[in-house]
């Protein structure tokens, strides 16, 4: 009897689900080794704030030009796992190119090449995860929490290893390359994903944009990302400007990662009582608070307090975005839908925030731009709240029956 019970317990363990959890953990562990420190690295090379913003925007341009290709290819081929392996091979090799140049033009070219692969990793990986979770009726939060844990565990140690000068900071590229290679090896254990094969019958992802709720959602995602991308791009520089070290950058990022845990644990339950649209409005309000607190911080205590709000704004928005894509996009176009979201957020919105924010920071200051950012997001939330409250009276939001969506429930 006991042997039978042990067998049942063993068979109930979902190995593919655990592998997806580990892939998320490993992806964010790799990201923690270099993404928080790139802006500080550029400043260590004596680049101006505008140049730092331009380099951050290069990745966004790559996202606009190349990301749709990878997402559409993965859906058209019907083998997202193969596309994921291709972009991971590219990431493993091209991030080592950061070790070569120190000039702005040289790094500009390297960022273009690297981001051509890196921007595709998360959308394709998320498409595989969402498809598997839908098929097995599993919670996506159980997969995404792996990323939060992985990021929090490694980001502090990465900050200590990276150091504070340009020469020692180059170690982060070696660590990241090794991490991408481990991800590539782990894909051998990921679940097969053949859902995309049906997309060969679909001529264009234009069907997604004919879904008016999805189009409005993309507009919100763009505006929200403009607000939050400035923090992602320039918070490390702001921390260094306060006289703190890269180790403090690691601590700040760890606090933000830990703040995601309670959000991930509670969101599925909250979404049973509140719509994703309502939670997105809450995320916008939390972002305003975070921007204001960061702008007035004069030491690490103030920075840490502001970072506590990261989970409430970023993770709430991220998870609700995944739910809305899952609801509004047909399964055979899941990677294209996520790629379109990435194009709007990591592409167009981040370009505006990085270049515009860098230029304004050179002429004003980072705290001053954060306060302007807070005003912008406040107006965004107020406008979106009015649209939500009066959505039944807005003709544009009356969804035509011809639009192919999986779930026609309201926002």
pLDDT single digits (tens) 88-119: 999 999 999 998 878 888 888 898 889 888 88
Tell me if 231 sits within 8 A of 282, measured CB to CB: no
Tell me if 398 sits within 8 A of 201, measured CB to CB: no
Distance from C-alpha of 266 to C-alpha of 224, rounded to nearest angstrom? 22
Mean pLDDT (whole number) for 238-262:
85
Q: Does domain 17-196+206-397 have CATH number 1.20.1250.20?
A: yes
The full set of domain ranges for the chain reads: 17-196+206-397
pLDDT band at 201 (very low <50, low <70, confident <90, very high): very low
Mean pLDDT (whole number) for 281-292:
91
Place of tokens 């498409």: 127
Q: Which residue has the higher pLDDT, 199 or 135?
A: 135
Mean pLDDT (whole number) for 74-97:
84
Distance from C-alpha of 38 to C-alpha of 56, rounded to nearest angstrom? 9
pLDDT of the residue at 276: 82
Tell me if 139 sits within 8 A of 133, measured CB to CB: yes
pLDDT of the residue at 8: 44
Place of tokens 């991490």: 179
Q: Which residue has the higher pLDDT, 232 or 400?
A: 232
Mean pLDDT (whole number) for 16-28:
88
Model's pTM, two decimal places?
A: 0.69
Q: Which residues, other chains included, contact 163 with Cβ-Cβ below 8 Å and sequence gap of 6+?
A: 169, 171, 246
Query: How far from 391 is each of 149, 190, 220, 394, 399, CA to CA, in Å?
Result: 38, 41, 14, 5, 12
For the chain, what is the mean pLDDT?
A: 79
pLDDT of the residue at 43: 83
DSSP 102: -
pLDDT of the residue at 158: 77
DSSP 208-224: HHT-HHHHHHHHHHHHH
Tell me if 293 sits within 8 A of 309, measured CB to CB: yes
pLDDT of the residue at 116: 85
């Amino acid at each position: 009897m006991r042997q039978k019970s042990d067998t049942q317990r063993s068979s109930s363990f979902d190995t593919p689900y655990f592998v997806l959890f580990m892939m998320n953990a490993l992806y964010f562990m790799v990201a923690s080794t270099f993404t928080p420190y790139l802006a500080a690295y550029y400043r260590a090379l004596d680049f101006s704030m505008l140049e730092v913003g331009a380099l951050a925007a290069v990745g966004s341009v790559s996202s606009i030009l190349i990301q749709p290709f990878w997402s559409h290819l993965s859906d058209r081929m019907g083998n997202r796992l193969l596309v994921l392996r291709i972009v991971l091979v590219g990431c493993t090799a091209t991030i080592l190119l950061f070790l070569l140049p120190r000039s702005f033009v040289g790094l500009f070219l390297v960022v273009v090449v690297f981001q051509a692969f890196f921007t595709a990793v998360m959308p394709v990986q998320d498409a595989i995860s969402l498809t598997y979770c839908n098929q097995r009726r599993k919670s996506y939060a159980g997969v995404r929490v792996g990323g939060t844990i992985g990021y929090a565990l490694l980001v502090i140690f990465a900050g200590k290893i990276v150091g504070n000068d340009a020469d020692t900071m180059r170690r982060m590229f070696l660590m990241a390359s090794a991490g991408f290679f481990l991800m590539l090896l782990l894909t051998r254990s990921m679940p097969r994903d053949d859902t995309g094969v049906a997309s060969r019958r679909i001529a264009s992802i234009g069907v997604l944009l004919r879904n008016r709720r999805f189009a409005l959602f993309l507009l919100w995602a763009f505006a929200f990302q403009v607000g939050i991308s400035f923090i992602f791009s320039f918070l490390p520089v702001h921390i260094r400007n306060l006289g703190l070290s890269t180790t403090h950058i690691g601590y700040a990022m760890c606090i933000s990662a830990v703040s995601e845990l309670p959000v991930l644990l509670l969101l599925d339950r909250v979404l049973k009582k509140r719509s994703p649209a309502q939670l997105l409005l809450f995320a916008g309000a939390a972002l305003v608070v975070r921007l204001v607190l960061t702008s007035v911080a004069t030491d690490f205590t103030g920075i840490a307090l502001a970072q506590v709000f990261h989970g409430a704004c970023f993770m709430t928005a991220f998870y609700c975005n995944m739910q809305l894509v899952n609801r509004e996009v047909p399964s055979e176009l899941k990677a294209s839908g996520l790629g379109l979201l990435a194009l709007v957020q990591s592409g167009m919105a981040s370009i505006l925030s990085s270049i515009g924010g860098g230029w304004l920071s050179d002429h004003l200051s980072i705290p001053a731009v954060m306060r302007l950012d807070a005003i912008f997001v406040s107006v965004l939330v107020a406008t979106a709240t009015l649209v939500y409250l009066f959505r039944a009276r807005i003709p544009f939001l009356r969804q035509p029956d011809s639009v192919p969506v999986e779930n026609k429930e309201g926002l």
